[in-house]
């Protein structure tokens, strides 16, 4: 079976992990800070990064730092995984959901502007599947922005990396993301002051004072894997002689050629963005349904999936007619395997199956 998602673990990752294992400093050491510096430097001068145990933990710390709590409103897309909704509701804040655009899987910015009130404390701008949302349309909103870059590491907008356009950004480094830090992990990115406070509250132990803190401190073992993969993101890979972003781009180009012969289409890519091809998500334009496409690929031992398990407005029992584009995406979108660990013959098989979508 060709899985829908798979990490890209290479020999160098294993060597870096082994170095930590034999050092006897598994939990805390200098590798965490080295990873944070390398991650921040990827975005340019003035950025700082804080490594934590997951993307969800990263958002939790950001909201704690921003003082978001009971009664505050946070705007986010409905076509999204449930993690941000869990964080918002756990803090007793109010999630305000918006639809996605007609030609994209990202949030409808006009609707965002309509939903802003005096109670709005933040807008979470999610860059879905590696395509960058048009975040500049919120420049005059005068509301703090949080970029959800769980899918977007390596994507660019107006020449700058996704994550560069907000007060805070957070990244997931889980097993199947653009890079992984050993199966789990997250990163906070910011240019704002208060970075040491974020580092302080990510761990509760050995503190002189008592206040709300968390157990979100990652290990050197995780950091070693993350640092190794970060170096391979868009630089020459010593094994494949290509960076991870380039490999994804080449696979996407093969799929794009096949898509021209299928009854399906990709969302529009704006001139101002360079997607990272984290996911290859298409809309079905013909008679086939998502379950039928999943079954067709499955007969050839290829796993495809819905890109979002369930829209957030379904969980909150909100009227489905208020989210028409999200409903269409939920019913008509399918995600095709795309990751650097795919073999050439696997890519060719998937490309052949894409042509059969009718």
- In this structure, of 221-230, 239-248, 254-263, 272-281, the range with the lowest mean pLDDT score is 239-248
Question: 108 with 192, same domain?
Answer: yes
Question: 173 with 260, same domain?
Answer: no
Question: 260 with 216, same domain?
Answer: no
Question: 223 with 330, same domain?
Answer: no
Q: What is the mean pLDDT of residues 259-278?
A: 96
Separation CA 229–CA 232 (nearest Å): 5
**pTM as predicted:** 0.95
Per the prediction, the chain carries an average pLDDT of 95
DSSP 80: S
User: From the CB of residue 257, how many other CB atoms can be counted at a distance below 10 Å?
Assistant: 12
Q: Please report, for residues 120, 168, 270, 325, 328, the alpha-carbon distance to residue 336 in angstroms, rounded to integers and kept in the order given.
A: 36, 30, 21, 20, 18
Question: 67 with 196, same domain?
Answer: yes
Separation CA 72–CA 211 (nearest Å): 22
Query: Count of residues for the chain?
Result: 358
Q: Is residue 2 part of a domain?
A: no
Residue pLDDT, tens place only, 275-332: 999 999 999 999 999 999 999 999 999 999 999 999 999 999 999 999 999 999 999 9
Q: What percent of the chain has a predicted confidence (pLDDT) above 90?
A: 91
Question: 313 with 172, same domain?
Answer: no
> Encoding tokens for residue 110?
């006009």
Separation CA 7–CA 341 (nearest Å): 7
Q: Is residue 222 part of a domain?
A: yes
**Which residues neighbour 85 within 8 Å (Cβ) at sequence distance 6 or greater?**
76, 95, 312, 315, 316
Q: What is the mean pLDDT of residues 214-236?
A: 91
Q: Please report, for residues 97, 207, 216, 290, 309, the alpha-carbon distance to residue 104 in angstroms, rounded to integers and kept in the order given.
A: 16, 46, 34, 18, 18
Question: 280 with 221, same domain?
Answer: no
Separation CA 240–CA 356 (nearest Å): 31
Q: What is the CATH classification number for the domain harbouring 171?
A: 3.40.640.10
pLDDT at 238 over 70: no
Q: Is residue 44 part of a domain?
A: yes
Q: What is the mean pLDDT of residues 339-356?
A: 97
Question: For residues 92 and 132, is the Cβ–Cβ distance under 8 A?
Answer: no
Question: For residues 283 and 267, is the Cβ–Cβ distance under 8 A?
Answer: yes
What is the per-residue pLDDT for 29? 77
Question: 20 with 126, same domain?
Answer: yes
Cα angle 161, 329, 307 (rounded to 5 degrees) comes to: 60
Separation CA 82–CA 107 (nearest Å): 15
pLDDT at 99 over 90: yes
pLDDT at 18 over 80: yes
Which of 231, 257, 276 is the endpoint of a domain?
231
Which of 210, 231, 252 is the endpoint of a domain?
231
**What total number of domains does the chain contain?**
2
Question: 83 with 138, same domain?
Answer: yes
> Encoding tokens for residue 19?
């170095």
pLDDT at 169 over 80: yes
Q: Is residue 263 part of a domain?
A: yes
What is the per-residue pLDDT for 55? 98
What is the per-residue pLDDT for 236? 53
> Encoding tokens for residue 263?
């009854």
Question: 129 with 266, same domain?
Answer: no
Q: What is the CATH classification number for the domain harbouring 343?
A: 3.90.1150.10
Question: 334 with 191, same domain?
Answer: no
What is the per-residue pLDDT for 58? 98
- Full domain range(s) for residue 318: 244-354
Residue 218: strand, helix, or coil: coil
212-230 residues labelled b (16+ CB within 10 A) or e (exposed) = ebeebbbbbbbbbbbbbbb
pLDDT bucket at 61, cuts 50 / 70 / 90: very high
Question: 144 with 254, same domain?
Answer: no
What is the per-residue pLDDT for 155? 98
pLDDT at 237 over 50: no
Which of 185, 209, 231 is the endpoint of a domain?
231
């Amino acid at each position: 079976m060709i899985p829908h998602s798979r990490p890209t673990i290479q020999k160098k990752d294993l060597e870096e992990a082994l170095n930590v294992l034999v050092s006897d400093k598994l939990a805390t050491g200098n590798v965490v800070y080295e990873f944070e510096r390398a991650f921040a430097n990827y975005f340019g001068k003035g950025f700082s990064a804080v490594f934590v145990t997951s993307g969800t933990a990263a958002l939790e710390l950001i909201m704690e730092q921003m003082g978001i709590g009971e009664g505050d409103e946070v705007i986010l897309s409905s076509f999204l995984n449930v993690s941000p909704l869990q964080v918002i509701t756990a803090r007793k804040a109010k999630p305000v959901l918006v639809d996605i655009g007609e030609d994209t899987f990202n949030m409808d910015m006009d609707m965002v502007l309509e939903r802003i009130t005096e109670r709005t404390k933040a807008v979470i701008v999610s860059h879905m599947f590696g395509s960058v949302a048009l975040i500049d349309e919120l420049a005059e909103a005068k509301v703090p922005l949080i970029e959800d870059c769980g899918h977007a590491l390596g994507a660019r907008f107006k020449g700058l990396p996704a994550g560069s356009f907000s007060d805070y950004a957070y990244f997931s480094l889980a097993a199947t993301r653009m890079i992984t830090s050993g199966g789990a992990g997250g990163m906070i990115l910011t240019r704002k002051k208060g970075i040491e406070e974020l580092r302080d509250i990510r761990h509760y132990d050995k503190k002189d004072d008592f206040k709300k803190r968390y157990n979100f401190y990652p290990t050197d073992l995780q950091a070693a894997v993350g640092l190794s993969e970060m170096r391979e993101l868009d630089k020459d890979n010593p094994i494949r002689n290509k960076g991870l972003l380039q490999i994804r781009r080449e696979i996407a180009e093969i799929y794009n050629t096949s898509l021209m012969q299928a009854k399906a289409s990709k969302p529009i890519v704006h001139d101002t963005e360079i997607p990272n091809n984290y996911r290859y998500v298409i809309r079905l334009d013909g008679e086939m349904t998502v379950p039928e496409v999943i079954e067709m690929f499955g007969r050839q031992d290829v796993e495809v999936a819905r890109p979002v398990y369930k829209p957030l407005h379904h969980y909150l029992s909100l009227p489905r007619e208020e989210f028409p584009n999200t409903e269409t995406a939920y019913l008509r979108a399918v995600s095709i395997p795309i990751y650097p660990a795919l073999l050439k013959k696997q890519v060719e098989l998937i490309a052949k199956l894409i042509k059969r979508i009718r």
